[in-house]
Amino acid sequence: MASKELLDMLNKGIAREIQVSIQYMWQHVLWKGVKGFAVKDELKNIAITEMRHAEVIAERLAYLGGTPTTKPEPIFVGKSLKEMLQQDKKDEEGAITLYRQIIEMAQKEGDTTTARLFRQILSDEEEHHDTFSGLLEEV
């Protein structure tokens, strides 16, 4: 059985995934300008990936006996492309830190399935971080 601390961390992950899926989708919808064209589709694709993360984390949390949250972390859309990408990069850094902690805690609790799930998600988050870092170099 998972500890309350691990279940709470999974819920924090869900709240974060809901937040960035909305945030990135709204950035995709609202961004205009020449530089935005290269970014718009990437933001949309990442937003969809983040929503899938929220779904699989929620399924795992429910399996472990928890109740998935429906409340996102605070959403920050931004007013310029640079501001958006800086926030998005920061949000991915927060996810990477949280997911490493979840992997460590799951391993300590003998929950290899949760650890494996978060290793897969962590790989996506590192890729998103790399994408936002690269895009920031162009802005």
The C-alpha atoms of residue 77 and residue 106 are separated, in whole angstroms, by 32
AA identity, residue 93: E
Residue 87, pLDDT score: 96
Q: pLDDT digit of tens for each residue in the chain (139 aa)?
A: 899 999 999 999 999 999 999 999 999 988 877 766 778 888 999 999 999 999 999 999 999 999 999 999 999 999 888 899 999 999 999 999 999 999 999 999 999 999 999 999 999 999 999 999 998 887 7
The C-alpha atoms of residue 136 and residue 50 are separated, in whole angstroms, by 20
Residue 40, pLDDT score: 85
Task: Specify the CATH number for the domain of residue 13.
Answer: 1.20.1260.10
AA identity, residue 89: K
| Residue 19 contacts residue 54 (beta carbons within 8 Å) | no
Residue 39, pLDDT score: 82
| Residue 4 contacts residue 65 (beta carbons within 8 Å) | no
Q: How many domains does the chain have?
A: 1
Give the structural domain span for 118. Answer: 4-138
Nearest in space to 87 (alpha carbons), one of 24, 12, 13, 17: 24
b/e sequence 18-48, b meaning 16+ C-beta within 10 Å: bbbbbbbbbbbeebeeeeeeebbebbeebbe
Residue 1, pLDDT score: 82
Residue 80, pLDDT score: 87
Residue 36, pLDDT score: 67
